[in-house]
Structure 1
Amino acid sequence: MKTRYTYGGDEHIYVEIDDEMSLDAFFIALSLSNMVREANIPGVTEILPANASFEVRFDPDVIAPDSMMEKIKAFEHQAEAQEKRLDTRIIEIPVYYEDPWTHETLMRFRERHQDPTGSDLDYAARINGYETVADFIEAHHSQPWFVSMVGFVSGLPFLYQLVERDKQLEVPKYLRPRTDTPKLTVGYGGCFSCIYSVRGAGGYQMFGITPMPIYDPEQKISYLKDFMVFFKPGDIVKWKPIDRAEYDRITEAVEDGTYTPRIAEVEFDLDAFNDDMTGFNAKLMEALNDA
Structure 2
Amino acid sequence: MKPRYSFGGDEHVFVEFGEEMSLEGFFASMSLTNAIRDSRIRGVTEICPANATLLVKYDPDVISPADMMGEIRQLETAAEKTEPVLRTRIIEMPVYYNDPWTHETLMRFRDRHQAPDATDLEYSAKISGYDDVSSFIGAHAGSPWFVSAVGFVAGLPFMYQMVERPLQIDVPKYLRPRLDTPRLTVGHGGCFGCVYSVRGAGGYQMFGVTPMPIYDPRQELNYLRDFMIFFKPGDIVKFKPVGREEYDDTVRRVDANNFEPLIRQVTFNLEDFHKAPTACNQALEGILHDR
Which bracket does the TM-score occupy, shorter chain normalised? Answer: over 0.9
**Percent of pairs identical after alignment?**
60
How many angstroms apart in 1 are the aligned matches of 2:67 and 2:286? Answer: 48
SS at match of 1:290: coil
- 1:262 corresponds in structure 2 to 262
Structure 1 residue 2, shift from structure 2 partner: 3.4
Q: Residue 35 of structure 2 corresponds to which residue in structure 1?
A: 35
> Following TM superposition, by how much is the alpha carbon of 1:70 offset from its aligned partner in structure 2, in angstroms?
1.3
Corresponding residue number in structure 2 for 1:114: 114
The whole-number CA distance in structure 1 between the counterparts of 2:205 and 2:138 is: 17
Q: Which residue pairs with 1:163 in the alignment?
A: 163
5+ unaligned residues in a row in structure 1: which ranges?
Answer: none
1:147 Cα offset (Å): 0.8
Quick one: distance in 2 between partners of 1:60 and 1:240? 46
Paired residues in the alignment total 291
Which consecutive residues of structure 2, in runs of 5 or more, have no partner in the other structure?
none
1:80, 1:19 → 2: CA distance? 18
Separation in structure 1 between the aligned mates of residue 174 and residue 33 of structure 2, nearest angstrom: 33
Offset at 1:12? 0.8
Q: Which amino acid aligns with 1:6?
A: S
Listed one character per residue, the Cα deviations across residues 119-143 of structure 1 (whole Å, up to 9, x for unaligned) are 1111100111111011111000001
SS, match of residue 90 in structure 1: strand
Partner of 2:135, secondary structure, is helix
> Cα distance, 1:69 vs. partner?
1.1
What is the distance in 1 between the residues matched to 2:44 and 2:90? 32
Structure 2: distance between partners of 1:93 and 1:187: 14
The alignment partner of 1:126 has SS state of: helix
Quote the Cα distance in structure 1 between the aligned partners of 2:45 and 2:89: 28
Report the Cα offset of residue 289 of structure 1. 1.2
Query: Partner of 1:54 in structure 2?
Result: 54
Residues 1:278 and 2:249 are matched in the alignment: no
Amino acid at match of 2:20: E
Question: CA separation in 2, counterparts of 1:10 and 1:138?
Answer: 47
Q: SS at the partner of 1:173?
A: coil
Deviations 1:264-284 (A, max 9, x none): 111101111111111111000
User: Is 1:65 matched with 2:65?
Assistant: yes
Partner of 1:143: 143
Q: CA deviation at 1:203?
A: 0.7
The match for 1:192 is 192
Aligned: 1:103 with 2:103: yes
CA shift, 1:77, in A, is 2.4
Q: What is the match of residue 247 of structure 2?
A: 247
Separation of aligned partners in 1, 2:156 and 2:122: 25
SS at match of 1:234: coil
CA distance in 2, matches of 1:262, 1:40: 34
Q: Is structure 2 residue 205 aligned with structure 1 residue 205? A: yes
Q: TM-score, normalised by structure 2?
A: 0.98
Give the match's secondary structure for 2:289.
helix
Q: Any idea what SS the aligned residue of 2:93 has?
A: strand
Greater mean alpha carbon deviation, residues 168-177 or residues 39-48: 39-48
CA distance in structure 1 between the aligned counterparts of 2:290 and 2:35, rounded to whole angstroms: 35
Partner Cα distance (1:154, 1:59) in 2: 23
Deviations 1:3-47, CA, capped at 9 Å, x for gaps:
211111111111011111111110110010111111111111111
Deviation at 1:236, TM superposition (A): 0.7
Partners of 1:285 and 1:249 lie apart in 2 by 24
CA distance in 2, matches of 1:202, 1:218: 24
Instruction: Report the counterpart of residue 235 of structure 2 in structure 1.
Output: 235
Write out the 4+ residue segments of structure 1 that deviate beyond 2 Å after TM superposition: none
